[in-house]
Amino acid sequence: HVQLVESGGSSVQAGESLKLTCKTSEHPFRTIGWFRQAQGKEREGVATIQTRGGTTYYSDSVKGRFTISHDSADNAAYLWMNNLEPDDTAMYYCAASNLVVQSPNVFRVPSFRFWGQGTQVTVSA
């Protein structure tokens, strides 16, 4: 049974940092991504990592502030978020694929078959 469980979401002030964790069931995922969905907006991809080789992709809105990583020994992926802004407020979702997802598909929702339930991040000005 495939499971993705996110944690680490919180309410913080602008400029602060958070670390999100995605614990995965033991499964050979080849690509893991972090997406977010703000209220009233579409779900958007922010960071993706290919688990073998470690190639990463970032959306322009988070590049330089967010870092995605993967630890195969812990069956976990992480999203390190620095210098948070109010526009980062959203529900954050972990997503995974059995396939190697490459550009230009790395932030497309249909590229990922498995999804977690999300963790809320709220950033106050």
Compute the average pLDDT of residues 103-121: 97
| HSE toward the beta carbon, residue 123, CA cutoff 13 A | 18
Query: Has residue 34 got a pLDDT over 80?
Result: yes
Model pLDDT, residue 25: 86
Model pLDDT, residue 57: 98
| HSE toward the beta carbon, residue 74, CA cutoff 13 A | 9
Grade residue 65 by pLDDT with cuts at 50, 70 and 90: very high
Question: Tokens for 18?
Answer: 């958070």
How far is Cα 109 from Cα 67, in angstroms, rounded to an integer? 20
H/E segment holding residue 115: strand 114-115
Query: Has residue 2 got a pLDDT over 90?
Result: no
